[in-house]
Amino acid sequence: MAEKAGEGVKPGGRQFYVVWMSAAAAPEPSKPSAEVRDAHHDYLAALEAQGVLFAAGPFRDADGSRPGCGMMILKTRTFAEAHAIAAREPYRLHGLRTHKIMPWQLNEGALVGMV
């Protein structure tokens, strides 16, 4: 049985939202890719400055190439806030990526004391 948000939360656990960004099936970019990439990096820097972005980065294939997907881990209060942030991410906004969000709770590991 699936847990509802907040159930089974360990004391001291921190709630995050993992945003899986995948390449769109048939992308039709509205801007040149270099402009979108620059806007993407600016967007992530702004989220980090606001204390919302916990981590982000691309996935790589076994040969080191980038398949056009990645993830962001967001520190927001709600799923709706995480969704709004993901929807405004430039690659997503310009039709190059889709996203899926999963709530994630940080309970254990070296990062626990750092957040």
What pLDDT, on the 0 to 100 scale, is given for residue 110? 67
Looking at every residue in the chain, the average pLDDT score rounds to 83
Q: What is the DSSP letter of 24?
A: -
What pLDDT, on the 0 to 100 scale, is given for residue 27? 67
- Is the pLDDT at 3 greater than 50? The verdict is no
User: CATH number for the 32-114 domain, one of 3.30.70.1060, 3.40.1160.10, 3.20.20.70, 3.90.226.10?
Assistant: 3.30.70.1060
- Is the pLDDT at 10 greater than 60? The verdict is no
C-alpha angle with apex 1: 107 to 6, nearest 5 degrees?
40
d(CA 56, CA 21) in angstroms, rounded, equals 10
What pLDDT, on the 0 to 100 scale, is given for residue 7? 47
User: What are the residue boundaries of the structural domains of the chain, listed by start?
Assistant: 32-114
d(CA 68, CA 28) in angstroms, rounded, equals 14
Helices first, then strands: H and E counts in the chain: 3, 4
pLDDT per position as a tens digit, 32-87:
688 889 999 999 999 999 999 999 998 888 887 776 789 999 999 999 999 999 99
Which residue in this structure is represented by tokens 């048939």?
Answer: 26
